[in-house]
Amino acid sequence: MNENFSFEQALKRLEEIVETLEAGNISLEESIKIYQEGIALSKLCSGKLEEAEGKVMAIMNRGSEQMEEFSISQIKEA
């Protein structure tokens, strides 16, 4: 995930926008502006959730700290 993107902050801002817009006591110009911001945030958030399949990696070699793909099917019963 993008390091500069705070999902939590984006979601919080989006919630503010939804509230403001629902309350409705702002100018049309302002409401169009935050509406567009809201839609962009919501797309950004859902995009982040759906964009990429995360990896499961394991540090297999302590010495080299090399990572390898790790799958649940590799797990042996203890």
Can you give the binding site for another protein, defined by CB under 8 A?
1, 3, 7-8, 11, 14-15, 17-18, 21-22, 24, 28-29, 31-32, 35, 38-39, 42, 45-46, 48-60, 65, 67, 70, 72, 74-78
Q: How far is the CB of 33 from another protein (least distance, A)?
A: 10
Q: How far is the CB of 73 from another protein (least distance, A)?
A: 10
Nearest Cα residue to 65 out of 57, 77, 55: 57
Q: How many CA atoms lie within 13 A of 66 on its CB side?
A: 5
Q: How far is the CB of 13 from another protein (least distance, A)?
A: 11
Interatomic CA distance for residues 29 and 57, integer angstroms:
48
Q: How many CA atoms lie within 13 A of 55 on its CB side?
A: 8
